[in-house]
A and B are shown apart, each in its own frame.
Chain A
């Protein structure tokens, strides 16, 4: 049962990812990415990580992708044109991708001891997750929050700085 659901949702994930690349209108690509995020959340659920699945939907599919969609809507992006630009890139690129995929597949298939697509260790409850996150993994947690704070400060500085400059020029006139 879990194997069937794994294949179905992994299929959705892959189909969304390939559709993302093949679509010409950016809003369709954004929506395909939402499909990818949601099927990833189901895959997390199949592994027993219920909190992580819910957090993936709330944060990734529900907030970050909304911002992506905002950008597409505000920029009024239209369909992209298909340009077969560099023939050299296609001649080298496609075989290179096949080679890289073959290498990765060989490495994975030769690894012993990989798990099965099954709920083997049971469901990780939120209590267990938070017990580990705030005791053993406290330092990575705090460092990650500082990292996000830096990103926020950078974004505010970039956005605010442009606004101040244009206001200054208007004031001079």
Chain B
């Protein structure tokens, strides 16, 4: 396979994944509004299109057409770059996520993963670390005390919970013996649901640590103090309007989706079916290749549902409670999980 073929296939995969990702982000916003509405005993958006399904399109059009206000005292280069960093990092990390089985058509690279990197898990962690700059620079360059406070709080929160996030994944890596996401999924797939890392792999503590740390990483409830309106009038995106604000907004939801994808890949068996080999595979090759994608999307949807459910239910943490919890509870618990997993693996 020549370099030109590789580039063409990669461009095609990137285009498809970007379009799907942006649509997914738009409809995750709608999911959240409808779901939070139902939790609060009201309909969400229900007027635009059947069941409000065209609402994201209208919101997108609104964002483009709104006036773009740039305050006078901002530090312009960083003010303009910050949303780009935030959205860019949010979209880049989906490049190493495998959606389905390693299927190749006529010598193409794997169809359902944009790039198969040996250290795929570390790439996701690294890109998340760079994404902190989007928030920090946005808050500082806005030349507003609310923005600066929100940005500092948010960056400190993100950096603190990154540690617990990374350590909670070490147990999974120890069990799989590889940092390659595809290898981690395939290693879990031996007997359907029973060998998924959360059940057979005994990583339920790690899973809960990962979930809590991921909620803090994406600045979502109950850790959304940096963007709480009653606290900080919007935090780091106070001074942003229309499309730049929409970029921060999209970055947050794209991060949610990436986190959900990583959770399904590492703890819930990725694209493998929970029934394992009990159901015989369908005859048609086309359906056989698409079924794993259906399972993957279903699991990611369940995680997004959980995200919104938690947002609609729990009150938010105060900032000192948040930092206390991250450093003094989650981090030692993650380290204990690593020790326990290593003992279990050594004496198995």
Q: Count the B residues whose beta carbon is within 8 Å of the partner chain — how many?
A: 29
Query: Are A63 and B122 in contact, CB atoms less than 8 angstroms apart?
Result: no
Query: Are B122 and A51 in contact, CB atoms less than 8 angstroms apart?
Result: yes
Q: State which of B61-69, B132-140, B295-303, B316-324 sits at the interface with chain A.
A: B132-140
Q: Count the A residues whose beta carbon is within 8 Å of the partner chain — how many?
A: 23
Query: Are A58 and B129 in contact, CB atoms less than 8 angstroms apart?
Result: yes
Q: Which of B128, B152, B178 contacts A73 (CB 8 A)?
A: B152
Within 8 A of A (CB), among B158-215: 159, 162, 166, 177-179
Given contacts A27-B78, A27-B140, A127-B177, contact A69 B133 (CB under 8 A): yes
CB of B238 to closest CB in A, whole Å: 16
Cβ of A155 < 8 Å from any Cβ of B?
no
Given contacts A54-B122, A54-B123, A66-B159, contact A126 B179 (CB under 8 A): yes
Cβ of B130 < 8 Å from any Cβ of A?
yes
Of chain A, the residue at the smallest CB distance from B121 is: A54
Collect the chain B residues with CB atoms within 8 Å of residue A53's CB.
119
Binary CB contact string for chain B from 29 to 40 against chain A (1 if under 8 A, 0 otherwise): 000000000000
A57 to B166, CA, bound (A): 14
B: residues with CB less than 8 A from A are 75, 78, 117-119, 122-123, 125-126, 128-130, 132-133, 136-137, 139-140, 148, 151-152, 155-156, 159, 162, 166, 177-179
With A54-B119, A54-B125, A126-B118 already in contact, 20 other A-B pairs whose C-beta atoms are closer than 8 Å: A27-B75, A50-B117, A50-B118, A50-B119, A51-B119, A54-B122, A57-B130, A58-B122, A61-B126, A62-B126, A62-B128, A63-B159, A66-B133, A69-B140, A70-B152, A70-B155, A73-B148, A73-B151, A126-B119, A126-B178
